[in-house]
């Protein structure tokens, strides 16, 4: 009887002093838990926050500053709008592939767990090392520098802000965003939702202004929209490269899969809703730009959204750099929120 009872007890859980069962000699897995945080919020991300994470990370300063990069390669309005729509479709297809991976391997970290499962630890480690030391910090710093330039520009009318001001403001933005995301997942998610709502305000203002001008008959810039276009393999490839750069961030939600509420439902839904929404916004914003500016004027503009605001929103054109700053800091917050995983 003694040996039989020992065999039954061998490999079973041992009782702790408090009565809680724990396994002996078995390491517990480390993962991001959907539990309470220091602010007593449930540390999980829902559908709305997932959509805001995708939209808020993708829409940064690019669409407001330099959409001329696509136009410069194809040379005409028609191919330019076609490229923007095609880039959105391509980003959506890539994101749907990631959604399939995210529902099969429900681990946070983006590409890292997928490379680990498919190719083993060495490629996964190399990707993680590159992201940790080069890619993510550089991207975070560049976005914060863009935010600092727009945030400080109104205080230095007629001249460029001093570099020391820009760098100090960018450093302050990095510190604040890092502290917020270190303290609370939900707090970082709330901040992302707010900043995404702020950037959607300026997106709506630009789109509605363009629609109103189109309704008033300002369609001359769309006549013969494919005339003088430069269509070649190299020009289309470069246009796609520049367009897809503006869609960067479509894979960010896969970095926080473990913190999603019901990822099997919310991950694909967030992607299916978020990226087509960004695509529609990008195409309509470009249509609004072309309603106000010719191709030549758009190519000569240093900041297209600011030029648009000066021509359409005057004397309220000051809201454009303000909301572009909101948009940029929102992209930085989304990058920090996901990159830490």
Quick one: DSSP state of residue 76? S
**Residue 44: its pLDDT value, please?**
66
- Whole-structure pTM value: 0.79
Winning range, highest mean pLDDT, from 60-74, 90-104, 163-177, 252-266: 163-177
Residue 21 scores a pLDDT above 70: no
pLDDT digits (tens, 9 = 90+) for 24-79: 444 455 555 544 443 333 446 788 888 888 888 888 877 887 688 899 888 888 89
Higher confidence at residue 239 or residue 60?
A: 239
pLDDT in tens, 111-163: 888 888 889 999 989 988 888 888 888 888 888 888 888 788 777 776 778 88
Q: Which CATH class is domain 47-338?
A: mainly alpha
Long-range contacts of 238-242 (CB under 8 A, 24+ apart): 238/73, 239/70, 239/73, 239/74, 239/79, 239/80, 239/83, 240/83, 240/86, 240/87, 240/90, 242/69, 242/70, 242/73
Q: In this prediction, what percent of the chain has a pLDDT beyond 90? A: 18
Domain residue ranges of the chain, discontinuous segments joined by +: 47-338
The more confidently predicted of residues 276 and 60 is 276
């Amino acid at each position: 009887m003694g040996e039989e009872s020992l065999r039954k007890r061998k490999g079973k859980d041992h009782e702790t002093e408090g009565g809680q069962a724990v396994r002996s000699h078995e390491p517990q897995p480390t993962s991001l838990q959907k539990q309470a945080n220091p602010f007593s919020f449930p540390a999980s991300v829902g559908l709305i926050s997932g959509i805001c994470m995708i939209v808020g990370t993708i829409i940064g300063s690019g669409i407001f500053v330099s959409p001329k990069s696509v136009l410069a390669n194809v040379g005409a309005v028609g191919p330019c709008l076609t490229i923007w729509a095609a880039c959105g479709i391509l980003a959506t297809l890539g994101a749907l592939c990631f959604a399939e991976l995210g529902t099969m391997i429900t681990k946070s970290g983006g590409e890292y767990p997928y490379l680990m499962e498919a190719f083993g630890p060495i490629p996964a480690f190399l990707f993680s090392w590159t992201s940790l030391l080069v890619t993510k910090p550089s991207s975070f710093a560049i976005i914060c520098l863009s935010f600092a330039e727009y945030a400080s520009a109104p205080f230095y009318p007629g001249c460029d802000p001093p570099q020391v001001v820009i760098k100090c403001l960018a450093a302050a933005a990095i510190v604040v965003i890092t502290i917020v995301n270190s303290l609370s997942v939900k707090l970082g998610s709330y901040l992302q939702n707010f900043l995404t709502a702020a950037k959607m305000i300026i997106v709506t203002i630009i789109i509605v202004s363009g629609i109103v001008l189109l309704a008033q008959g300002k369609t001359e810039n769309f006549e013969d929209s494919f005339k003088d276009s430069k269509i070649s393999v190299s020009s289309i490839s470069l246009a796609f490269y520049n367009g897809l750069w503006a869609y960067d961030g479509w894979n960010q939600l896969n970095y926080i899969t473990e913190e999603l509420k019901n990822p099997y439902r919310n991950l694909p839904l967030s992607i299916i809703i978020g990226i087509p929404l960004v695509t529609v916004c990008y195409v309509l914003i470009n249509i609004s730009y072309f309603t106000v500016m010719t191709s030549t004027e758009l190519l000569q503009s240093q900041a297209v959204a600011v030029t648009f605001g000066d021509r359409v929103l005057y004397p309220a054109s000051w809201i454009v750099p303000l909301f572009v700053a909101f948009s940029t800091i929102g992209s930085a917050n989304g990058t920090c929120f996901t990159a830490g995983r």
